[in-house]
Structure 1
């Protein structure tokens, strides 16, 4: 009887540790403004998935194979990245370790990610990945005209009132406290742009910022 009780205790302890490990390994990301995602990423592309397979990409320190999902893609446009065409992207096989699920049905995506030393592109749930049709006209235009102009700025997310910026080179992102979503008006229609005095300010609209906005010292 004692042996059975001890065995049950050991089994429960192992299950508990497995559960703790699962929780510890769960994917957790802080939301970022699309401009931040653009600036922080090595690669930003518009693409659609044309194939999917599970592949080995090496071994861990214990000699076990490391699995990744390889999405074969058709690159439609590169907004930021290397000179070569990206024809495949890699992600973890499950969402618990930040693996991304993409649809292979002709849907086009805006995909941001990291470029590894071997030239391959890797993505996680922490990257900005959005169906192209769900993006606003301002977001699409900003990929080629405006986001890069604010990469030296800092976008500070406001999570509760009061909140404030700590330097003129910051823009306060208030979508969450005002609209209870990180995909609100500032994410969809604004970019944080650096001006001539090194301050940063939100700019709305699809067109390039006018000179009088950039050079605020002009009359």
Structure 2
């Protein structure tokens, strides 16, 4: 087969387009309510990001070095996780691989959820709930960890299109996306789905801890 220069350029363009598409599709996840993120994560911390650098974490199956971004953090408070002082978190080097970009210039404080991997390091992705601490609502902060923990046996069901309905007593319907066209709506910012004494679940809003026998949504 004879290739012209233009033919080679076209072939390279197609190959590049395939690679870009692969990367674009590599990071895909459904938005999670902050309570879901808390319950499904191994580690939930409040921390200040103080430095960043790229590190080698081993080789891939072809022997090529694998790099990750390492964020050095100053742990302020641990809401969930192992009995250890977490000094760093790791993420992929690009967003196409779900890598997270955090601010290091202002030493910003974040609420960070992540996974504790077999290597003993905390890894985070774009699918985790990572939010500047000052951007969180007062009720979100108060819900860490007791209130969210009380609802870990509940299931939060995201409503994507109307009509939507619940199918079990232990479910709470999350309607921020369909009603507000915004994931971080009122239910994400101000409500927790908590299990009641009879085993059913319901949304709860309030500054005080919910009563064990509350029957429905409570206001502050």
The answer to whether the superposition gives a TM-score over 0.5 is yes
- Alignment partner, residue 101 of structure 1: 101
Deviations 1:105-131 (A, max 9, x none): 121000000001121100001100000
Hey, what's the Cα distance between the residues in 1 that align with 2:212 and 2:116?
35
Hey, what's the Cα distance between the residues in 2 that align with 1:74 and 1:91?
17
TM-score by structure 2 length?
A: 0.92
- Alignment partner, residue 15 of structure 1: 13
Contact 2:156/2:171, CA 8 A, preserved across alignment: yes
Tell me by how many angstroms 1:14 deviates.
Answer: 3.3
Deviations 1:114-173 (A, max 9, x none): 001121100001100000000001000101220011111110000110111111111000
- Alignment partner, residue 48 of structure 2: 48
Tell me by how many angstroms 1:75 deviates.
Answer: 0.4
Contact 2:197/2:213, CA 8 A, preserved across alignment: no
Contact 1:189/1:204, CA 8 A, preserved across alignment: yes
Q: CA RMSD in A?
A: 1.5
- Structure ranking higher in helix proportion: 1
Q: 1:167 to 1:16 in 2, by over 3 A?
A: same
Hey, what's the Cα distance between the residues in 1 that align with 2:88 and 2:204?
35
Contact 1:196/1:214, CA 8 A, preserved across alignment: no
- Total equivalences in the alignment: 212
Q: How do residues 121-200 of structure 1 correspond to structure 2 at under 5 angstroms?
A: 121-200=122-201
Contact 2:53/2:71, CA 8 A, preserved across alignment: yes
**Unmatched 5+ stretches in structure 2:** none
- Alignment partner, residue 39 of structure 2: 39
